[in-house]
Structure 1
Amino acid sequence: MSEELRDELEAINSIYGDGCLVPSGDTNIYVLKPPGESSSLRIEFPPAYPAVPPVVLGTNSTGEHGKRGDAAREFSLFCQALSTVYEPGAVCLFDAIEELTRLLESEAPDETPDQDNTPEDESHTSPATEKAVYAHDTDTLNIPEPPWVISDPFIEQKSVFVARCAYVSSTEEAEAFVQHLLASDRKVRTATHNITAWRIKGPNNTIFQDCDDDGETAAGGRLLHLMQLMELWNAMVIVTRWYGGHKLGPRRFALINQTARDAFVKAGFVSENPNKKKSTGKS
């Protein structure tokens, strides 16, 4: 196994969950289970990969509800996705999975024209496609555009990090801001991770604080810890990451917090000068 393939195997399973990409038992052949799909794909990675592209050998249904027609369709779309994103010398599986998700989403209205796409259907949505449900909720939010302050983009090895922060006065408002962002911005909604944290002081100094890793294990807790160290209250932050195909290791946590801090500074939550007293936000 090449170093590039080993890194890609670890990255894919860390993003989409263990078991997304596993060896099949045959040399150079792996089984890919695209998130949310009913079929798995058998993929051969030639020894020269990524100088040469992987080869999709076939599919097999993995669930009771899988259908042969679905498997053939997913096979065809993944081959299309792979041919679109592959560039000689660059690993491509993450981009191929994301492109497959985009193709499946674009076909969904034609595939199921009579289904009622209501919020009740969210309980049947897989974790990898759950964010897409928000696309149908824009009209139900009934809130104005959240007053986001946006960080500069931080880019490392093609991974892009952008943070948004805002003043919030309740957990309901924070949750609504998250939903509004995912509903109104497709680029954010389809990002690899949207990591969230907030800290709020309610009536009688009641404290509310929470975080969400969104698949980036421990990242939400680190964001929350950053806010605690900065003594921030009545504030929330969302750090969006678009994976660039290269593992960053522990460095990614520093980039997530650095991006969040940049947004907090721009919003006036904290002074850019570390010798000045920290701000605590609006009460």
Structure 2
Amino acid sequence: MSEAFVDEIEAINSIYGDNTLVHSPQDHDATIYILTLPGGTSASLRLQFPPTYPDVPPAVLGTHSSGSAGKRGAAARDLALFRDAVSQIYEPGQVCLFDAIEKVQELLVAAGEEGHDDVGGNGDKLGDPESATATAATVPARTEQSGAGCPTTTPPWILSDPLTELKSTFIARCAPVTSPVQAASFVQHLLASDKRVRAATHNITAWRIRGPNGTSFQDCDDDGETAAGGRLLHLMQLMDLWDTMVVVTRWYGGQKLGPRRFALINQVARDAFVKAGLVAEAGGGKKKGGR
């Protein structure tokens, strides 16, 4: 198993959830994995990764389980779409699973499919069980003006440790927020007051807020890093964090990280949440939960 494939497994499971890509429990062959495509009605696929992957492409063997007749039809459709996506995207020496999964999601959305909620993007649904959750206005881009204005005092940011890989540097900061307007003003203040942050390649944002009368708000902004905001929001949902926002800043180092970048974005975000006391460190006790 190549180092690139090890990193890809970590990234895929970090982005889409644990057990998205795992060894097949029914096969003795260590090269066969089960990939569960995002979306509650999607298929699980059997993939074979030769020892020389990614120098050679993975083999898409078939579906893992079929279930009812309706699900069998959906599984056959997803299998065909995934095979087509791999054939279009794969390049020798480059891992391809993340791009193939995203391509399948794009094709499903383009075909008008419903139920594939984990599509990322600004405020798009990510499988959140709270069907009544409202989506706030998107965080204003760094070149736009917010009607809320900057706060008069510096937001109470809690920063993660910086993380550098292949010359790209990532750092996250989180802060308590009580409204979408406040969250947007915090972003505006950060960009206006910190020249280095303003000059960064990406400032990826997500927030989740409980409003009055049982309402709630959540939103995200990729800031040019496609699907990254949606992954941050998904991480907050998995950690059950509320009344909190996070901004992950990335300075691009000139070398592509592939899907590994999403694992790094999540890693610094988790570190900020831990330092803010919103969640216990791994092995350090019970989670404290959102505010």
How far apart, CA to CA, are the structure 2 residues paired with 1:194 and 1:248?
8
1:3 and 2:3 are equivalent in the alignment: yes
Contact 1:163 1:240 in 2 (8 A): yes
Tell me the residue number matched to 1:199: none
Contact 2:172 2:249 in 1 (8 A): yes
Q: Given the superposition, is the C-alpha separation of residues 89 and 146 from structure 1 closer, same or farther in structure 2, using an over 3 Å criterion?
A: closer
How far apart, CA to CA, are the structure 2 residues paired with 1:247 and 1:141?
26
2:181 maps to which of 173, 184, 190 = 173
How far apart, CA to CA, are the structure 1 residues paired with 2:167 and 2:90?
15
- The alpha carbon displacement at 1:217 in A equals 7.0
Matches within 5 A, 1:116-127: none
Tell me the residue number matched to 2:101: 97
How far apart, CA to CA, are the structure 1 residues paired with 2:17 and 2:177?
34
| Secondary structure, counterpart of 1:61 in structure 2 | coil
Unaligned 5+ runs, structure 2: 126-133, 144-162, 186-206, 208-216, 251-255, 273-291
* TM-score with structure 2 setting the length: 0.51
- The alpha carbon displacement at 1:47 in A equals 1.8
Q: Given the superposition, is the C-alpha separation of residues 91 and 125 from structure 1 closer, same or farther in structure 2, using an over 3 Å criterion?
A: closer
Unaligned 5+ runs, structure 1: 113-123, 197-211, 225-235, 259-283
Tell me the residue number matched to 2:73: 69
How far apart, CA to CA, are the structure 1 residues paired with 2:76 and 2:264?
39
Tell me the residue number matched to 1:149: 142
Tell me the residue number matched to 1:29: 32
Matches within 5 A, 1:186-265: 190-191=227-228, 193=230, 195=232, 213-214=235-236, 238-239=247-248, 244-246=258-260, 253=267
| Secondary structure, counterpart of 1:96 in structure 2 | helix
Percent sequence identity over matched residues?
Answer: 41
**For each residue in 1:245-270, what CA deviation from the matched residue of structure 2 results, as whole angstroms up to 9, or x when unmatched?**
33697797569999xxxxxxxxxxxx
Contact 1:59 1:75 in 2 (8 A): yes
* TM-score with structure 1 setting the length: 0.52
| Secondary structure, counterpart of 2:75 in structure 1 | helix
Tell me the matched-pair count: 205
**For each residue in 1:214-242, what CA deviation from the matched residue of structure 2 results, as whole angstroms up to 9, or x when unmatched?**
47979x89xx7xxxxxxxxxxx6543889
Over alpha carbons, which structure has the higher Rg? 1
- The alpha carbon displacement at 1:85 in A equals 1.6
